[in-house]
Amino acid sequence: MTKKIYDLIIIGGGPAGLSAGVYAGRGKLKTLIIEKGTTGGQAATTNEIVNYPGVRKTTGPALTEEMKLQCEDFGAEFAKTDVIGVDFNGDVKKVKTVNGEYEARAVIIATGAGPRKLGFPGEAEFTGRGVAYCSTCDGEFFEGLEVFVIGAGYAAAEEAMYLTRFASKVTVIAREPEFTCAPSIADKVLAHDQIEVKFNTELLEVSGEGMIQRARFVNNVTKEEWEYKANEKDGTFGVFVFVGYAPKTELFKGIVEMDQHGYIVTDEEMRTNVKGVYAVGDLRPKSLRQVITAVADGAIAGTDVQKYVAEEKERLGITEEPEEEKPAKKEETKQAAANGSKSFLNDAIRGQLTGIFARMESDVTLVSIVDESMPKSVELRDFLTEIAELGDKVHLELHKKGENTEVEEKINADKYPVVALLNQSGEYSGVKFHGVPGGHELNSFILAIYNLAGPGQALDADIAESIKAIDKNVNIKVMVSLACHYCPDVVVGAQRIAILNEHVEAEMVDISQFPELKTKYKVMSVPAMIINDKDVIFGAKKINEIIDAVK
């Protein structure tokens, strides 16, 4: 069978990549969008968007979900995987991922940017233990605590407002003499009774024993220094850093032209110096990085690439039959996706899960030990009951806590709520979920079933061999928040390792249900991996990085 060659591969599923996907798909290009995490990029972590023309007020997740559905309306395909290498030489471009290699006649790089770190003493040491970069992911960990927001731009102002939902007080530390964002949001911050703003001020360092307990600041005009100490009752506080973003372009160094800061250089049509390769969004040098400028880049590239692909096919003498146009998504599907996991069992989501389960090659049994005195354990039971109705190869085994100690020991049921996955032979797969897998973790739960049953997601042969080579017992607890869009990738990666290696156990732990673990391991940010109940590793990790961590 001839390997499929796409007209276009878009690396990155943020607003720029999705916009390019809409225009390319509308132009009848066979388009694949590769995104390693939750679709939407930085915008998906934005609680409120009020400056996107034509949309008076919305959330980042809602806006980008509509963009994704538009791409699907025009026939674009999506692949959720990590890109680990590219080869842009020749007429056909190659994109290597952990799930295999894809090919296309053109590529649009839309990998965006990530939070920039300041480099102050203690920043690296206390990341995940007081220092954070995403209020949507980590804000809930600072309920009732004081937090400092570092920055003077739009993100700092917006996130300061958002953090007032959790923190007892928010102090904005801005090295500038005034905010650098729009006056409309700056005025809201200055008027908020939970927020104090200190201009001309910089953070010098943070310190503490295990958690942040002290921070030193300096007024950069008067040179006066001062120290903040956590009060005895709280024991800690938070520092959220919002000082801009750094381009995620390391993968393309030496392949496409970049400036001294790592931004990819393009012309006005978004073309790089490599024929057939474009770059869009926040990874380009530009004066304004907002959703509207990202989608503008995507529209330009998505239009120009149509001409490029047509010229290439004509030059190479390639003729193809037009593909049958895919029907647009029904409105109820759009609404279901916008509503999120709270409506996962409406008709649209039910239909999607039924389709996934119909492709399963072998049986999977979900085993849950139910503690009827615990509401979340009962909620998990009801969730699993409805899930198991959607596929003939998905089975459910329920036991009341204490009634079958043999099963409890088999799946190491040491925390509740709990559900474990058994393979077709009834053997424990090493995959467990502690919590109700809603929010972003619904995806990781479904993928765990699909990957255990087969055919599962494709996996690079070298990575599979590295997994099988692990020859010691390893327990991986992935601490998550259901609002964290980085967490599912770590959960899926850890659980894929467990499925392929009997020495490994991988647990998803909804940290909101286990405050004692949060305290024990001093976790103030997610995702966080606990290896063998000892080593704590914070941040999003690719599957090869998880393998390296457990070897």
Q: Is residue 187 a part of any domain in this protein?
A: yes
* Claim to verify: residue 58 and residue 174 sit in the same structural domain: no
- Given 210, 241, 272, the domain boundary residue is 241
* Claim to verify: residue 145 and residue 33 sit in the same structural domain: no
* Claim to verify: residue 370 and residue 469 sit in the same structural domain: yes
C-alpha dist (Å) from residue 354 to 67, 72, 375, 424 = 24, 19, 27, 19
How do strand 277-279 and strand 225-229 relate by DSSP bridges? Answer: unpaired
* Claim to verify: residue 420 and residue 546 sit in the same structural domain: yes
Distance of CA 354 to the CA centre of its chain: 25
* Claim to verify: residue 235 and residue 187 sit in the same structural domain: yes
Total domains in the chain come to 3
Write out pLDDT tens, residues 240-266.
999 988 999 999 999 999 999 999 999
* Claim to verify: residue 352 and residue 303 sit in the same structural domain: no
* Claim to verify: residue 31 and residue 169 sit in the same structural domain: no
CA–CA gap between residue 47 and residue 61 (Å, rounded): 8
C-alpha dist (Å) from residue 528 to 135, 332, 361, 377, 477 = 16, 35, 32, 23, 8
**Shortest CA distance to 157 belongs to which of 279, 225, 242?**
242
At residue 2, the pLDDT reads 54
* Claim to verify: residue 481 and residue 501 sit in the same structural domain: yes
Q: Is residue 119 a part of any domain in this protein?
A: no
With a CB cutoff of 8 Å and minimum separation 6, the contacts of 462 are none
Which tokens go with 494?
């850890």
Q: Is residue 103 a part of any domain in this protein?
A: yes
CA–CA gap between residue 368 and residue 406 (Å, rounded): 13
The whole-chain average pLDDT of the chain stands at 91
CB 398 within 8 A of CB 370: yes
Range of the domain at 294: 5-113+247-316
Residue 160 has pLDDT above 90, yes or no: yes
Q: Is residue 49 a part of any domain in this protein?
A: yes
The CATH number of whichever domain residue 421 belongs to comes to: 3.40.30.80
Write out pLDDT tens, residues 19-67.
999 999 999 999 999 998 778 887 877 777 888 899 988 888 889 999 9
The CATH number of whichever domain residue 180 belongs to comes to: 3.50.50.60
* Claim to verify: residue 289 and residue 144 sit in the same structural domain: no
DSSP secondary structure code for residue 244 in this structure:
-
Confidence band, pLDDT 50/70/90 cuts, at residue 223:
very high
Q: Is residue 260 a part of any domain in this protein?
A: yes
- Given 196, 211, 241, the domain boundary residue is 241
* Claim to verify: residue 197 and residue 264 sit in the same structural domain: no
Q: Is residue 84 a part of any domain in this protein?
A: yes
At residue 38, the pLDDT reads 74
Residue 414 has pLDDT above 90, yes or no: yes
* Claim to verify: residue 483 and residue 389 sit in the same structural domain: yes
- Given 182, 214, 241, the domain boundary residue is 241
Residues taking part in catalysis: 134, 137-138
* Claim to verify: residue 390 and residue 452 sit in the same structural domain: yes
Q: Is residue 183 a part of any domain in this protein?
A: yes
Q: Is residue 126 a part of any domain in this protein?
A: no
